[in-house]
């Protein structure tokens, strides 16, 4: 069954290598050349987002210099943190050719349940609240991961179902109730607000976490294996990669991250009800895709996804600063998303033909 | 002997079809609904049931064809919203209603064509494209209407949304009638025409279908356009039913639509599914929502039931496989344990 979805997207690096072996070519140089070329394109892909981001910021600042003042930059960075954190978890799942649509609901449940602890047990340790949030998220992620990895059913269906179920549980438990800012301790509310040298602490921490995530996926064996699974699950299985275990871990991590993001969401907004984070999953998937992560797995990076989140958050703020009605936000988002996917595809096609040309030249 | 056994097995496998299971679920829902409330089986309640699920049911039909062809369209609810907003804006600018209908239909077709062309001509994954157009079309609806609400539609049209079809004792809504007519048309097209066969073929293997001479790209584009058209029709119905055009009409309905299609036993990977299953799934979904409405269950939490049904729809068909698999997995342990235990004790 999975094989049908396999054929929808062919991955250029795998393609190139396979043919090289078929031709009986000396594999060493061809492989490194293909590798370096692919690497260069990957680098271009991420720098592409940086260029778009840079141009966007410059144009906005040229029209409205107020855009580059400190408060505004802080605002964008804070807006990005939760978003980029969720994008990190989602990237791990998407790279393995799965998708986690339940993160919006997990965030909502975690946001209410954890911040509610402050109302029920005043003076509770903040670390404990974060642990609770993470635990709730982890539990949801484990359920998703078990169903996808052990049950071997499509993740789109499973997480669509848990999106409903988790939100339903959230509503059954907490509907009609609210946690308000007055119930939350100021130390908790200060988490997204405190800054070092003008840069929000939280943004630095999240950047470090994303850096660690990127390093893990790039360097560690289990991280690399997620890419292998995403570019060809059957081949990965035959190569001895514990596919189920890795996919399970990706979902568990995504859930835990969504749980933590829920607590941060609570700290950021102060007022939380059962509808927190509704529909957020599609925004996160958008950020991931804008960041150059292929929706059918196998390629992309956490840094790219985080930059995608930053870009989308910047656009929202820039439109606001430029005095463009916020009613334009969503249309521009959508347009940009489609543009990003189309661009990604063009690069992939170019890369494939470049590899093919290179091979024929050597024959 | 073997003939009888074969016949029996054939009958068994036919009886074990997904649609049979769904029919059982539908009957169970009806019985449970009648048990919970005496109102459940009244004509008035059936009218309400049709009213609150009509647009979703209509959007399920083209989605079925798209999923069978191996793609997905997540922008359906946004096309509904865009059609609704356009209807509102043009009406408030004093356009005559027939002209508005033509424009809305054309815009729906165009929205579907954009989806279809991006998917087929640029070769982009439909999941990603339609998440993009989900935002884009909802964004256009928001640009069109902003925070405004248009609610002064003429009674001749809004009556269509709240009155029954004449001759049915006011028990059938227009949206139900449209759904039934479209379901028959879609069913015939899907199961009894070369066009329908080719949809199954490309869902099973797009490459094989292409080599067999099926115009995969053209047919997929047509399906997306069809979806756009039908969703804009749903948008018009939605607007008249609520007598309001706002930018967030139908927000989030795409997930309900996809859930029903999957519940119907249509494979998310394409190539499998039946229109009868889809009609049964619509009945099961609508019946459950309605039965819960009559109880004092929290209305916003009915998603739990939808989610559980969705999970059942992927796990029940696989249950047979696991039942075969589990004994194999545990057999070695059973053999080994007598060897180890006596020595250790």
**A175 with B301: Cβ contact below 8 A:** yes
Per-residue confidence at A14, pLDDT binned at 50, 70, 90?
A: very low
Least confident of A172-176, A227-231, B101-105, B182-186: A172-176
Which of these ranges, A11-25, A64-78, A127-141, A186-200, has the smallest mean pLDDT?
A: A11-25
Question: Is it the case that residue B161 has pLDDT exceeding 80?
Answer: no
Structure confidence at residue B35 (pLDDT): 86
| A5 — pLDDT class (breaks 50, 70, 90) | very low
**Higher local confidence (pLDDT), A17 or B289:** B289
Confidence of residue A52 (pLDDT cuts 50, 70, 90): confident
Instruction: Domain ranges for chain A, please list them.
Output: 2-6+36-362
Nearest CA in chain B to A101: B255
Give the pLDDT confidence score for residue B339 in this predicted structure.
43
CATH dotted code for B41-314: 1.10.3470
Interchain CB contact of B148 with A (< 8 Å)? no
Interface test with A, best of B139, B258, B262, B271 (most A CBs within 10 A): B139
| Alpha-carbon distances of B232 from B8, B110, B128, B135, B240, rounded to whole Å | 47, 11, 21, 16, 13
Confidence of residue B239 (pLDDT cuts 50, 70, 90): very high
Q: Is B301–A279 a contact, with Cβ atoms under 8 angstroms apart?
A: no
Q: CB of A47 within 8 Å of any CB in chain B?
A: no
Cβ pair B271:A330 closer than 8 A: no
Return the domain boundaries, chain B.
41-314
Pairwise CB contact (< 8 Å): A342 & B124: yes
Please state, as a whole number, how many other Cβ atoms lie within 10 Å of the Cβ of residue B162: 15
Read off φ and ψ for residue A195, nearest 5 degrees. Answer: -135, 155
DSSP state of A242: -
Residue-level pLDDT at B14? 55
pLDDT score recorded for residue A12:
40
Sequence-distant (6+) residues with CB within 8 A of A134 are A110, A256, A259, A260, A263
Among A151, A175, A325, beta carbon nearest to B300:
A175
Contact list, B304 vs chain A (CB under 8 Å): 164-165, 168-169, 172
Q: What is the pLDDT of residues A235-289, one digit of tens each?
A: 999 999 999 999 999 999 999 999 999 999 999 998 999 888 888 888 899 899 8
What count of CB pairs under 8 Å joins A to B? 167
Surface of B (209-248) touching A: CB under 8 A = 247
Domain A2-6+36-362 grouped into CATH 1.10.3470: yes
Q: Does B319 touch chain A (CB under 8 A)?
A: no
Q: What is the pLDDT of residues B296-316, one digit of tens each?
A: 787 777 888 888 888 887 887
CA distance A45 to A43: 5
Is the minimum CB–CB distance between A359 and chain B shorter than 8 Å?
no
Assess contact for A228 and A239: CB atoms under 8 A: yes
Size of chain B in residues: 345
Residue A22 binned pLDDT confidence (cut-offs 50, 70, 90): very low
Start-to-end CA span in chain A (Å): 37
> For residue range B39-96, what is the model confidence (pLDDT) as tens digits?
888 888 888 888 888 999 999 999 999 999 999 999 999 999 999 999 999 999 999 9
What are the pLDDT digits (tens) for A101-115? 999 999 999 999 999
* Inter-chain touch A345–B118, beta carbons under 8 Å: no
Task: Report the alpha-carbon angle B294-B296-B299, nearest 5.
Answer: 85
d(CA A203, nearest CA chain B) in Å: 27
The residue that leads in pLDDT, B1 or B318, is B318
Picking from B209, B211, B137, B160, the residue whose alpha carbon sits closest to that of residue B51 is B160
| 8 Å CB contact between A315 and A74 | no
Q: Across the interface, do A160 and B136 touch by the CB < 8 Å criterion?
A: no
Identity of the residue in A171, A279, A342 whose CB atom sits nearest the CB atom of B300: A171
pLDDT at B76: 96
Contact check, Cβ <8 Å, B139/A8: no
């Amino acid at each position: 069954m999975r094989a049908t979805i396999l054929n929808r997207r062919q991955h250029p690096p795998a393609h190139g290598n396979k043919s090289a072996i078929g031709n009986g070519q000396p594999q060493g140089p061809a492989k490194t050349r293909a590798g370096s070329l692919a690497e260069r394109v990957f680098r271009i892909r991420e720098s592409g987002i940086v260029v778009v981001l840079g141009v966007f910021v410059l144009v906005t600042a040229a029209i409205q210099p107020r855009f580059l003042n400190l408060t505004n930059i802080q605002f964008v960075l804070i807006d990005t943190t939760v978003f980029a954190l969720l994008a990190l978890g989602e990237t791990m799942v998407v790279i393995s050719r799965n998708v986690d649509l339940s993160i919006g609901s997990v965030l909502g449940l975690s946001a209410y349940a954890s911040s509610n602890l402050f109302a029920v047990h005043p003076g509770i340790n903040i670390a404990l609240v974060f642990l609770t949030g993470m635990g709730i998220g982890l539990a949801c992620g484990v359920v998703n991961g078990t169903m996808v990895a052990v049950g071997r059913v499509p993740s789109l269906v499973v997480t669509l179902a848990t999106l409903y179920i988790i939100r339903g549980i959230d509503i059954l438990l907490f509907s009609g109730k609210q946690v308000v800012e007055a119930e939350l301790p100021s130390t908790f509310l200060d988490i997204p607000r405190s800054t070092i040298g003008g840069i929000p602490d939280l943004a630095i921490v999240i950047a470090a976490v994303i850096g660690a995530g990127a390093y893990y996926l790039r360097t560690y064996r289990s991280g690399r294996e997620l890419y292998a699974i995403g570019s060809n699950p059957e081949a990965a299985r035959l190569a001895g990669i514990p596919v189920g275990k890795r996919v399970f871990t990706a979902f568990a991590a995504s859930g835990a991250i969504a749980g933590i993001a829920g607590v941060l969401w609570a700290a950021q907004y102060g007022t939380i009800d059962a509808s927190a984070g509704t529909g957020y999953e599609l925004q996160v998937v958008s950020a991931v895709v804008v960041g150059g992560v292929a929706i059918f797995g196998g390629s992309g990076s956490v840094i790219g996804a985080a930059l995608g989140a930053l870009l989308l958050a910047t656009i929202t703020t820039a439109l606001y600063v430029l005095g463009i009605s916020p009613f334009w936000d969503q249309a521009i988002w959508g347009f940009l998303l489609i543009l990003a996917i189309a661009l990604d595809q063009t690069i992939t096609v170019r890369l494939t033909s470049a590899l093919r040309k290179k091979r024929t030249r050597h024959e | 002997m073997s003939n009888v056994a074969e016949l029996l097995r054939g009958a068994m496998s036919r009886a074990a079809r997904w649609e049979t299971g769904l029919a059982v679920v539908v009957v169970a829902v009806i019985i449970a609904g009648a048990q919970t409330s005496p109102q459940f089986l009244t004509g008035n309640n059936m009218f309400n049931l049709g009213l609150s699920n009509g647009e979703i049911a209509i959007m399920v039909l083209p989605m079925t064809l798209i999923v069978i062809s191996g793609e997905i369209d997540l922008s359906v609810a946004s096309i509904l919203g865009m059609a609704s907003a356009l209807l509102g804006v043009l009406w408030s600018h004093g356009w005559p209603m027939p002209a508005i209908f033509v424009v809305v239909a054309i815009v729906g077709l165009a929205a579907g064509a954009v989806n279809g062309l991006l998917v087929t001509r640029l070769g982009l994954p439909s999941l990603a494209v339609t998440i993009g157009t989900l935002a884009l079309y909802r964004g256009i609806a928001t640009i069109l209407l902003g925070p405004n609400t248009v609610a002064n539609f003429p009674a001749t049209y809004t009556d269509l949304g709240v009155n029954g079809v004449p001759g049915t004792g006011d028990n059938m809504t227009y949206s139900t009638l449209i759904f039934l007519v479209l379901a028959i048309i879609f069913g015939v097209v899907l199961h009894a025409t070369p066009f329908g066969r080719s949809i199954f073929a490309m869902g099973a293997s797009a490459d094989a279908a292409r080599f067999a001479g099926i115009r995969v790209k053209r047919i997929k584009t047509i399906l997306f356009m069809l979806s756009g058209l039908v969703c804009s029709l749903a948008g018009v119905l939605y607007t008249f039913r609520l007598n309001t055009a706002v930018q967030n009409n139908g927000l989030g309905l795409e997930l309900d639509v996809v859930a029903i299609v999957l519940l119907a036993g249509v494979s998310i990977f394409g190539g499998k599914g039946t229109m009868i299953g889809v009609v049964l799934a619509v009945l099961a979904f609508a019946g459950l929502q309605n039965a819960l409405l009559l109880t004092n269950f929290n209305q916003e939490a009915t998603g739990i039931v939808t989610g559980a049904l969705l999970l059942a729809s992927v796990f029940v068909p696989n249950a047979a496989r696991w039942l075969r698999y589990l004994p194999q997995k545990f057999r070695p342990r059973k053999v080994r344990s007598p060897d180890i235990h006596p020595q250790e004790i």
